[in-house]
Structure 1
Amino acid sequence: MNFSRRAIIRGMAASTASGTLIKYAAASDTPTAAARRFAYVQMDVFTSQRLEGNQLVVFTDARGLSDADMLALARETNLQETTFVFPRDAATDRREGVKVRIFYPAGELPFAGHPTLGTANVLRMQDPSRPSSVLLDLKAGKVPVAFRDDAQGAFGEMTQLDPVFGKTHDRTQVAQVIGLHPEDLDPDLPIQTVSTGLGFVVVPLRTLKALQSLHPDFDKNDAYLRAAGDNALDFHYVTRDTGDSKVCLRARNIDRFGEDPATGSASGCTAAWMVKYGVIKPEELALIRQGIEANRPSEIFVRTSKEGERVHSVRVGGYAVKVMEGVAIL
């Protein structure tokens, strides 16, 4: 989708085959002295390979940007989400977390998974003296992201809010809404709304073929989700038919803005749902692969705790790599 242009992006960066970032500047349209400049970094999240995973732009110091500015910049980047960091003094950031706001082209989100992981990764890169855990202060609450370094890079794992399990949905009705037959749905697992900060309807499909054949009618989808009344943002489609023994689930998330290559918030909901219904065991590390159909392969690692019937400590992790940096000139 093309959005109106309200910001002029300059100083984009190109990546060489070796991964070295090369800055270049526009040759014309020199900004005036009164222009405001805001530095940004672009990340590929839930991957250790550049030009894969889910893209994210992080404005590293958004002080001075209005809500309207942030929305316009989210539309300008034209990505699933864009984040804005509001630095405070070091003591406050350590105590309360680094204040971050998340926007997508239609508004603001209280929480989203790949923006959380990607932003924490940027903060850690900017200040290597930070401890191995970065605390983010989001609209939805405080979310810690713990890091460990290995051969693939920095693996970050966020702890999402404890899950809230909402309504279960009628299989025949959902099949009609999403354009599939009831027999395309996994007969052994429920369709259920789950939230770990942002709500999704987890829809288990029986086969990989059914997952690959999805062509949603977004008007129907949106009307159903509004009528359901439990604040679910989207359907999140998953299947146990992965074709790879190392992969627990394949997933897709599609809305009218396009296909999301990696949906960390929905993956947290799915992880809680998997533990609740016995797809994985408590504390088992499971791999969800997403973004294949969008040509942006992503790997999302999840694990969850359970005590009795209480599911908690939902953790979603993965890698992230920097691909571009530059300055927005307003």
Structure 2
Amino acid sequence: MQYHHVDVFSSRPYSGNSLAVFAQADGLTGAQMAQITKELRHFESIFLVPQGPMWTARVFDLLDELDFAGHPVIGAACVLHALHGLADEQTWTIQLKARTVGVTTRRGSRGRYTGVLDQGPAAFLGRPDSASIASWFSLRPSDLDPDLPPEIVSTGLRYLVLPVRGTALESARITIDLGIPLDGIGAQFAYLLDARQMEGRHWNNDGVVEDVATGSGAGCAAAYLRRHGRIGDGEAATLHQGRFTGRPSQMTIAAFGEGEDIRSVHVGGDVVFVGTGRLRELPQ
């Protein structure tokens, strides 16, 4: 079975967020997909199966299957463009467990691609008390942005968006498993956001693995920034992530709507092809 190794949210290889794309994954079970993902050890892997005019997709990281993800869908759409695209710009429909999304891809020079994912509408699910949240990330309450409240936002996955300031992004660390406390406030993951510097940071809930560029989290950040008037209606902005992993990444974000009525969130970026491979054997 063939797969494609791409880096997402970067214009140069060996930067951005690494991804393995299986463009024809018919017949694989979820258990096989999970085992392949652990074997390849990319940040995530995505497995596609054609279904008429669309593709169904299953996404795995090294721990779990994800109901929704940003960078795997953008990377997968660019692989589909390279394999099947007839025009310089095309739109692909990809069905995930959480929702069905459209990704518009454009072919550039020297085999470069860009993709823009429409994550659909955003939901705002509450503002938890910030008194103890800072300590979850080894921060002090004074490290939180006093002008922006913590808020749970979803465009497919429920993120606690936690605005910080100063050097908080650099000094943040996770020393406890966040699964239980996040569940207690109705969130699945956390995304630290410096709204002044337009930079974010995200880890697995155990704090062991830091993500390079989190498309799903960036979508929630875009909706949050629009709701609080930090970006204009439909205004494209650049969100940075990955500086602390040595793989700097740039995500273009935009949100359309007013207040809590955010009708659509876009997240996009560059995708570069690093290589292709073939599995000689599949897991039993």
Higher radius of gyration, 1 or 2: 1
- The one-letter code matched in structure 2 to 1:213 is S
Counterpart among 160, 174, 179 of residue 222 in structure 1:
179
Counterpart among 177, 183, 193 of residue 238 in structure 1:
193
Structure 1: distance between partners of 2:128 and 2:202: 18
The corresponding residue for 2:164 is 205
Shift of 1:241: 4.0
Structure 1: distance between partners of 2:141 and 2:109: 44
- The one-letter code matched in structure 1 to 2:227 is K
Structure 1: distance between partners of 2:259 and 2:72: 32
The corresponding residue for 2:202 is 253
1:124 aligns with 2:81: yes
| 8 Å CA contact 2:227, 2:258 repeated in 1 | no
Partner SS, residue 120 of structure 2: coil
1:85 aligns with 2:48: yes
- The one-letter code matched in structure 1 to 2:223 is A
The corresponding residue for 2:244 is 293
The corresponding residue for 1:62 is 25
Partner SS, residue 320 of structure 1: strand
Shift of 1:324: 1.7
CA separation of 1:127 and 1:274: change in aligned 2, threshold 3 A: same
Shift of 1:127: 1.1
Counterpart among 133, 142, 152 of residue 100 in structure 2:
142
| Superposed counterparts of 1:69-218, under 5 Å | 69-88=32-51, 92=52, 94=53, 97-129=54-86, 132-150=90-108, 153-207=112-166, 209-218=167-176
| 8 Å CA contact 1:236, 1:266 repeated in 2 | yes
Cα offsets for 1:215-238 (capped at 9, x unmatched)? 11232x22211222x2x2221011
Structure 2: distance between partners of 1:128 and 1:147: 9
The corresponding residue for 1:306 is 257
Structure 1: distance between partners of 2:136 and 2:171: 14
| Superposed counterparts of 1:34-45, under 5 Å | 38-45=1-8
Partner SS, residue 77 of structure 2: helix
The corresponding residue for 1:48 is 11
Structure 2: distance between partners of 1:101 and 1:286: 29
Partner SS, residue 160 of structure 1: strand
Partner SS, residue 258 of structure 1: coil
| 8 Å CA contact 1:112, 1:265 repeated in 2 | yes
Partner SS, residue 139 of structure 1: coil
Partner SS, residue 322 of structure 1: strand
CA separation of 1:308 and 1:235: change in aligned 2, threshold 3 A: closer
Structure 1: distance between partners of 2:116 and 2:136: 34
Structure 2: distance between partners of 1:149 and 1:106: 33
Cα offsets for 1:267-290 (capped at 9, x unmatched)? 000100000011111111010000
Unaligned runs of 5+ in 1: 1-37, 243-248
The alignment's TM-score, normalised by the length of structure 2, stands at: 0.93
Structure 1: distance between partners of 2:164 and 2:137: 11
CA separation of 1:110 and 1:272: change in aligned 2, threshold 3 A: same
Shift of 1:129: 1.7
Structure 2: distance between partners of 1:309 and 1:44: 33
| 8 Å CA contact 1:85, 1:101 repeated in 2 | yes
Shift of 1:155: 2.0
Partner SS, residue 199 of structure 2: strand
Unaligned runs of 5+ in 2: none
CA separation of 1:178 and 1:98: change in aligned 2, threshold 3 A: same
Cα offsets for 1:196-225 (capped at 9, x unmatched)? 001110010011x11011111232x22211
Shift of 1:149: 4.2
Cα offsets for 1:119-138 (capped at 9, x unmatched)? 00100100122661111111
| 8 Å CA contact 2:124, 2:260 repeated in 1 | no
Structure 2: distance between partners of 1:149 and 1:187: 42
Shift of 1:87: 2.4
The alignment's TM-score, normalised by the length of structure 1, stands at: 0.80
Partner SS, residue 306 of structure 1: strand
- The one-letter code matched in structure 2 to 1:155 is T
Cα offsets for 1:39-58 (capped at 9, x unmatched)? 10011001111000000001
Instruction: Give every structure 1 segment of 4 or more consecutive aligned residues whose post-TM-superposition deviation is greater than 4 Å.
Output: 149-152
| 8 Å CA contact 2:123, 2:260 repeated in 1 | no
